[in-house]
Amino acid sequence: MRNVSSLSVGLIGAGGMGMRHAENLHRHVGAAHVVAAYDLDRGRAEQVAALCGAAVYDEPLRLIQDDRIEAVIIASPDATHAGFVQECLRWGKAVLCEKPLATSAADAARVIEAECALGRRLVSVGLMRRFDPYHVAVQQVAASRTLGRPILYKGVHRNAAIPYDVRGEVIVTNSAGHDIDAVRWLLGQEIAEVYVRGVRSHATFSADTTDLLLLQMTLTGDCLAAIELFVAAEYGYEVSAEIVSERGAVATGQPDNAIIRSAQTRSVAVPDHWLDRFQEAYVAELTQWALSIQSEQPFPGANAWDGYAALLVTDACVESLRSKSPVAVRMPVRPDLYVTSD
Ligand code: ISE
């Protein structure tokens, strides 16, 4: 049953991620419900409307401006994110924007300026690993410092296959934000330098493909990071993180699965998509987002500053990939509005 104080949400973008958010709000999050949906492909918005009893809008800006809509979720193509977020700020609407916050650090910086001018944090960014129980467990051990100073972060991020072209720049912009955010959040350090190289994994891919990237980083606390980002792994979807420290190491477990014994083999299934692997995290993220708006408390996930920081590093990664050399990241001083975010 719908909670009487349930937040009225407008959804912009009803593709795979947007539809999953709509389903999760409808089935699992009492604190919010979808009342309006927009997608360039009207048929997709109609599917959300049919599921949630929402209205279909033909104009995304009208959806944002509508007084009846208290908060907005943006799950449209990456290049549209920053513009819609700016519009939400203009109308004083809380917004959960899927990552990336923008497609360049310059555009994200303008979001930061607008939010600081408003003097209120309205922007949250969908970096769902922060709500994944396996990552949260690692973060808690790392933050406790029981293992001493962290020395090395090892990350794996494999997609079975991605539905877009596989140039290294596109992978960095669309996918590496999760890894960059995981490094910053799990270690509580900033990224000072990046060095990115890429290879083509399959001889059948076109010559300019770089679908396997190795991201190496130096962090401000003298820790190193090495991340494999491979988007054509075929066998399934996997993400993991390990922090090696002075007196031990801590790593993410994997979602519990049945162990299958058959035909002289003992095996565990691997999910084939992030929507399955991170389902629990998406629900927790939406729940915390809705509750934070209702209670006027800061969202415990990624905010606009985190989205901007991820893009500063992303831009440096793209530059490193092109120049084939290490690139320094210059992180500006965090404005007061974001100081209490950790
Ligand atoms: C996708 O947009 C995601 O957010 C997934 O978590 C990530 O693994 C994938 O590489 C991205 O394309």
Shortest-distance Cα residue to atom 5 of ligand 1? 274
**Separation between Cα atoms, residue 254 and residue 278, nearest integer Å:** 11
Average pLDDT for 204-209: 90
Most ligand 1 atoms within 8 A of CB, residue of 169, 174, 179, 229 to mutate: 174
Beta strands in the chain (DSSP E): 7-12, 32-38, 55-56, 71-74, 94-98, 123-126, 150-158, 191-199, 212-219, 224-230, 238-245, 248-251, 259-262, 265-268, 302-303, 327-328
Which residues does residue 227 pair with via DSSP β-bridges, in sequence order?
155, 215
Q: Taking 70 as the threshold, does the pLDDT of residue 341 lie above it?
A: no
Ligand 1: atom nearest CA of 278 is 6
Distance 143 CA to ligand 1 centre (A): 26
Distance 274 CA to ligand 1 centre (A): 7
Residues 6+ apart with CB under 8 A from 62: none
Q: Taking 70 as the threshold, does the pLDDT of residue 3 lie above it?
A: no
Distance 191 CA to ligand 1 centre (A): 21
Q: Taking 80 as the threshold, does the pLDDT of residue 118 lie above it?
A: yes
Most ligand 1 atoms within 8 A of CB, residue of 159, 211, 270 to mutate: 159
Ligand 1: atom nearest CA of 239 is 8
Residues 6+ apart with CB under 8 A from 180: 191, 309, 310, 313, 314, 317
Q: Taking 90 as the threshold, does the pLDDT of residue 162 lie above it?
A: no
Work out the percent of the chain whose per-residue pLDDT is above 70: 98
| pLDDT reported for residue 2 | 56
Distance 231 CA to ligand 1 centre (A): 9
User: DSSP letters of 215-277?
Assistant: EEEEETTS-EEEEEEES--SS--EEEEEEEETTEEEE------PEEEETTEEEE---SSHHHH
Average pLDDT for 24-40: 97
Pocket of ligand 1 (CB under 6 A): 159, 162, 174-175, 178, 231, 274
**Separation between Cα atoms, residue 108 and residue 199, nearest integer Å:** 29
Average pLDDT for 219-224: 96
pLDDT digits (tens, 9 = 90+) for 297-316: 999 999 999 999 999 999 99
Distance 168 CA to ligand 1 centre (A): 14
Average pLDDT for 318-332: 97
Distance 159 CA to ligand 1 centre (A): 8
Nearest to 101 by CA among 118, 119, 124: 124
User: pTM score, two decimals?
Assistant: 0.96
Shortest-distance Cα residue to atom 10 of ligand 1? 175
Distance 158 CA to ligand 1 centre (A): 9
Instruction: Please calculate the CA angle 170-171-173 and round it to the nearest 5 degrees.
Output: 65
pLDDT digits (tens, 9 = 90+) for 52-106: 999 999 999 999 999 999 999 999 999 999 999 999 999 999 999 999 999 999 9
Distance 147 CA to ligand 1 centre (A): 31
pLDDT digits (tens, 9 = 90+) for 239-294: 999 999 999 999 999 877 888 898 999 999 999 999 999 999 999 999 999 999 99
| pLDDT reported for residue 93 | 98
Ligand 1: atom nearest CA of 98 is 4
